[in-house]
Amino acid sequence: MNLISTKVCKKGDIGVHNNLFGGTMLSWVDEAGVAMAAQYCFTPLMVTVKMDELIFLAPVKVNNIVKIYGNVIAIGNTSITISIEVRRCSVYTQEEQLVLSTHILFCRIDEEGRAIPISKHVKRIFKTEQESMRTDSE
Task: List the end-to-end C-alpha distance of the chain, in Å, as a whole number.
Answer: 19
Alpha-carbon span 87 to 65, nearest angstrom: 8
Write the CATH number for 65. Answer: 3.10.129.10
Which ranges in 1-138 belong to alpha helices (H)?
A: 22-41, 120-137
- For 18, 49, 101, the CA distances from 108, given in Å and listed in that order, are 37, 10, 23
- For 56, 68, 88, the CA distances from 102, given in Å and listed in that order, are 10, 11, 15
- How confident is the prediction along the chain (138 residues), in pLDDT tens digits per residue? 999 999 999 999 998 889 999 999 999 999 999 999 999 999 999 999 999 999 999 999 999 999 999 999 999 999 999 999 999 998 889 999 999 999 999 999 999 999 999 999 999 888 888 888 777 766
pTM: 0.90
Total domain count, the chain: 1
Boundaries of domain holding 28: 2-137
